Amino acid sequence: MAQTTTPKTFDPEREIADRIIAALEAGTPPWRKPWTGQGGGAAFPLRATGEAYRGINVLMLWLEAAEKGYASPFWLTYKQAEALGGQVRKGERSTLVVKYGVVEKEGEDGTEERRPYLKAYRVFNADQVDGLPESFTREREPAIDLGTRPDEALEAYFARLGATVEITPDPRAYYHPARDLIHMPPVSTFHTTQGYYETLGHEAVHWTGGTARLDRLSRCKDRAAYAFEELVAEIGQCLLFASLGLTPSIDQSAAYVAGWLKALQEDKKAIFRAASEAQKAVDLITARCGATVAAETPEVAA
């Protein structure tokens, strides 16, 4: 007798959480990229009407736009594209978005009950559709030389770390474990000097987790572990800047950290474990580079 398998129940919330966590495997997510260039963050996603998306849908559509290189901020259902005279190109894949709402129903005792619901539907970026009005199209954002200059003291500080830092026009920032190097876009393409060094600090914390140092990344065996590592890097970057007497962008980092705690299924203890690992990373960085930005003789690790 042939065995039958029960079809997997479609869970849009889990699919979205998995999609967000998976972004870690490709580097820093697009909502945390303070530099220019198409890889430096997609346009804020808009509905066909021009209304802005909200909540988790913003993150989902940002991820998809950054990954696929979409320049248009507009997202449409198949029917909306047709109504505007467009045609989704053959082979194009849609992106999941969700709508939360409340429906009122009469209960068994005759009283009105408010029940939350979640509806999933799929949309296409305007770049996936032929024949749309010109107002829906945008040119890809080039990396722009904003004239942002490096900070000599911070350059010297991070140089003492001993990490290989590769700088190319590729608009992505990441630590590459196999090559054991940090990749950064040029400082001139960042909106602010501080944004450049905060990003470098974030990647430097990832670097401390390499096998030749704290060997933290070897524990990243699943997506939840990647999310945890991203918490470590963001908290570590804030701790590092604070310990150096600099002011980290706490408001931006707090929102970023809160998002990853949600991805970790609201594990309240995760933030404490991540902070402990972040402190170890900062201790390693300051042991090599010093406890201040000014040049000094760092402590030699035993």
pLDDT over 70 for what percent of the chain? 70
What's the pTM value of the predicted model, to 2 decimals?
Answer: 0.58
- Average confidence (pLDDT) over 232-258: 73
| 161 pLDDT above the threshold of 80 | yes
**Which residue ranges make up each domain of the chain?**
38-136, 152-289
* Contact (Cβ atoms closer than 8 angstroms) between residue 80 and residue 48: yes
**Closest of 105, 194, 180, 204 to residue 151, by C-alpha:** 194
- pLDDT score recorded for residue 41: 46
- pLDDT score recorded for residue 61: 83
**Closest of 195, 190, 272, 202 to residue 230, by C-alpha:** 202
Three state DSSP letters for 153-169: HHHHHHHCCCCEEEECC
Average pLDDT, the chain: 79
- pLDDT score recorded for residue 58: 73
What DSSP string runs through 192-253? -HHHHHHHHHHHHHHHHTSTTTT--GGG--SHHHHHHHHHHHHHHHHHHHHHTT----HHHH
What DSSP string runs through 113-168? EEEEEEEEEEEEEGGGEES--GGG--PPPPP--------HHHHHHHHTT--EEEE-
- Higher confidence at residue 157 or residue 234? 157
| 144 pLDDT above the threshold of 50 | yes
- Reduced to 3 states (helix: H, G, I; strand: E, B; else coil), residue 49 is coil
Q: For the ranges 52-56, 93-97, 207-211, which has the lowest average pLDDT? A: 52-56
268-276 CB contacts, 8 Å cutoff, 24+ apart: 270/228, 270/231, 271/231, 271/235, 273/228, 274/228, 274/231, 274/232, 274/235, 275/235, 275/239
Rounded to the nearest 5 degrees, what angle is found at the Cα of 16, between the Cα atoms of 132 and 231? 120
Q: Identify the band that residue 123 occupies on the pLDDT scale cut at 50, 70 and 90.
A: very high
- Beta-bridged to residue 163, according to DSSP, are none
- pLDDT score recorded for residue 76: 94
Amino acid identity, position 246: L
List pLDDT tens digits, range 270-301: 777 888 899 999 999 999 999 888 754 444 33
| 26 pLDDT above the threshold of 50 | no
